[in-house]
Amino acid sequence: MEKIAVFPGSFDPFTLGHESIVRRGLQIFDKIIVAIGTNTDKADYFPLETRLGWIRKVFAGEPRIEVASYNSLTVDFCKKAGARFLLRGLRTAADFEYERAIAQVNHAMEKDLEVVFLLTLPEHTFINSTLVREVIKYGGDASKFVPAAIDLKEAEK
Ligand code: ADP
């Protein structure tokens, strides 16, 4: 049976840390769906279509990666997509506490769904989307925190 994982997030924007988790995940899974959830309380910084386009560009030529968005419970999206695995990255102890709660709620809702965590590479531990947005807001150069295929200026506010 094909091992399909969903890597869910806001990816606002998609960073080097996210890319690394996906590429490492390809060693474990046959297919990974990078999926932007739109049902959270988080207000978007970059428009959904821009974020989707960026992620598609990063993985262009990689047939085992799909990029999608969803507006439902993550567990329901996984079911529809035929994915039995959720992929998440862990940076810090704070991530762990947050992720544990979400993973346990998801598992309680859908017993067949397993959550797989990958520890962030040390050089990516400090990278997060909030920091990237802050750098951009104050006119800094955030390009070193995102994959080379992403041109942040494309969506300058
Ligand atoms: P969410 O809104 O679900 O927190 P994010 O886009 O912030 O979405 O993150 C999606 C996933 O990527 C989460 O599992 C998060 O832990 C992971 N992640 C975020 N930044 C990094 C990073 N620098 N290195 C590895 N994983 C990361």
Domain harbouring 8, CATH code: 3.40.50.620
Both tokens assigned to 104: 């346990």
Distance 4 CA to ligand 1 centre (A): 19
> What is the C-alpha to C-alpha distance for residues 116 and 27, in angstroms, rounded to an integer?
13
Residue-range definition of the domain harbouring residue 44: 4-156
> How many residues in the chain?
157
User: Ligand 1 pocket by C-beta < 6 Å: which residues?
Assistant: 9-11, 15, 17-18, 21, 88-89, 91, 95, 120, 124, 127-129
Residue 156, pLDDT score = 66
72: left (phi over 0), alpha (psi -120 to 50) or beta: beta
For residue 124, indicate whether it is catalytic.
no
Distance from the CA of 99 to the center of ligand 1, in angstroms? 10
Give the other-Cβ count within 10 Å of 97's Cβ: 9
In the chain, the amino acid numbered 94 is: A
- pLDDT in the model for residue 94: 93
Total count of domains within the chain: 1
- What percent of the chain has a predicted confidence (pLDDT) above 70? 99
Q: Whose Cα sits closest to atom 21 in ligand 1?
A: 17
Residue that has been written with the tokens 């910084």 in this structure: 45
Q: Which residues contact 89 (CB under 8 A, 6 or more apart)?
A: 17, 18, 21, 95, 117, 118, 119, 120
Q: Any catalytic annotation for residue 107?
A: no
Interval 93-110 mean pLDDT: 93
